[in-house]
Structure 1
Amino acid sequence: MRKIFIILFLMLSIFTVINAHPFKTEKELQDFYAKIDKEVDKELKKDYIKLFEQRKANLKEKASNNDTKKMLEDNEYLFVFKNGKLEKVFKKDILDGKFIILSYIYENGKKRKIVCLNKENSHYYGTVKGFEEDGNPLYSGQFYDGKMEGIYKEYYESGKIFKEINFINDKENGQEKIYYKDGKILRIVNLKNGKENGDVIDYYPNGRIKNKAHFIDGELNGEVISYSENGNIIEKGFMKGKLLNGDTFAYYPNGKLKEKDSFKNGKREGESIIYYENGNVKQKSTFKNDKREGDLFIYYPSGKLCQTEKYINGKAEGEVIEYYENGVIKEKAYFINDKQEKEHFFYDEKGKLIKTDIYKNGVKQ
């Protein structure tokens, strides 16, 4: 049962942190980005191969210390070639000459990445955009003074959003959302300073919750619940410091209890019970420090005893007896230190001995 509780499910809420920008409001920041993005979008629409052909007669060569590169420029653009292929294009001056726009180019001439740089320190400003070779968007992220500040997005090949995260001062803060290809929510994560804080929720394509967990400072801490697609609880437990603590429950698809265990610091401790779908006990035993200890009882769906075993420190020790449903002994064996020893008796349904095997150190003689 513990396996499903180790799954990490992600989500988020808004938190107050110190911003890395001088703007008083989010609107002021977005207005600043909009000015830069407007200039970037102008460059995105341009075919730089054609633009170079239109300007090449008036371009002058700029000195380069790299033999594989050639740089040609005019007052507005700088074209960088590597081994004869256009590699980069600089739009020299935007927004009163404080910024430049740099585009990285695929061999097919399409843009691979486009960024706005501060002329003084080359820090990123505005929305950085990356593209597939066919021109479809790959990612985009908002930057201020070289740090991520705003929304970061990744895209499916179709161009639809795969993931979006809010950044403040170069760290994830607020909601991270992951989407299915059809645009429906797959996961929501609450983040603070780059760590999960609050509820993390996974969703089925039908919009119902699949998994829900609570995080504190990046660690699972609180109730963890898994649901079926029709909304019934599948498993439920409590995590503290990444470890299961307290009672955990597993359920059948119809909502009936399937299994109950108790944990202490990630280890089974106490009674463990497994149920049939009809509600009768299927198996009952006790654990100590994550090892079975004492009697193990196994039952038929009717509720009648099927088998008994004894354990010491997780190892079978002593008699193992299996019963017919009418209560007559079916088999009787003996274990020492988890290995079968001595006689193994077989009986018919009337209790008559029909066969005897001998074991030594777990091997049939």
Structure 2
Amino acid sequence: MKRILIIFILILSIFSITNAYSEEMHKEYYDSGKILKESHFSNDKKNGKEKTYYENGQISSIKNYKNGVVDGEYIEYYLDGKLKLKGSYKNGLREGEFKTYLINSKSAGSMFYKDGKEIKSTLTPYMKEDVFFNYSDKTETQMDIRDKKDGYYHMYYLNGRVMRLVPCNEQGLYDGTFIQYYESGQLAQKGYFKNGLEEGEFVWYYEDGNIKEKAFYKNGVKQ
């Protein structure tokens, strides 16, 4: 009888431990029913890989968590599956080199971090804007990059409206007239690039169409 009681207590203990350490997968979906995000949880905290997807099923990003905090390798992909960005987090902060790539797979330079603070960058301000470091669900699917047409990469908001018309030459550098729009469709910015550097007049607009700011550049330097 005593032996049976001991066995029962052991079984009960194992059952309690198993329930105390629960693991589960959380999934989020687009309105179309296609998968948007997969997150691993243990003890109600994110642990392990979290994957986000474009609506076409291609992986958008892979993020690693440890006890609810981003920690480890972080990767982003373009809509066609090509590598966009690769770096690492430590205790929720960016750490070390974040390598970035153009849509044509050529290097777009790197940004270097120490304890979450940027200490060095080889990117132009505009290339920096195209590299999304995702901190919230709101920004993770902010932009959809599609095919190149007429010398421009067309970038779209999720509502289908054009976000940017980005001119790129064969080397993958900005080269030509750069145009950006508000999500409403109103013109937000217009300027010109030459071999990756700002050149000439840049104009920024308020959403009502009035001019917000003007600047003139020469060889990437604001005059």
For Structure 1 versus Structure 2, the TM-score category normalised by the shorter chain is: 0.3 to 0.5
Bigger relative contact order, structure 1 or 2 (CA pairs below 8 A, ≥6 apart): 1
Q: TM-score, normalised by structure 1?
A: 0.30
Larger Rg: 1
Q: TM-score, normalised by structure 2?
A: 0.48
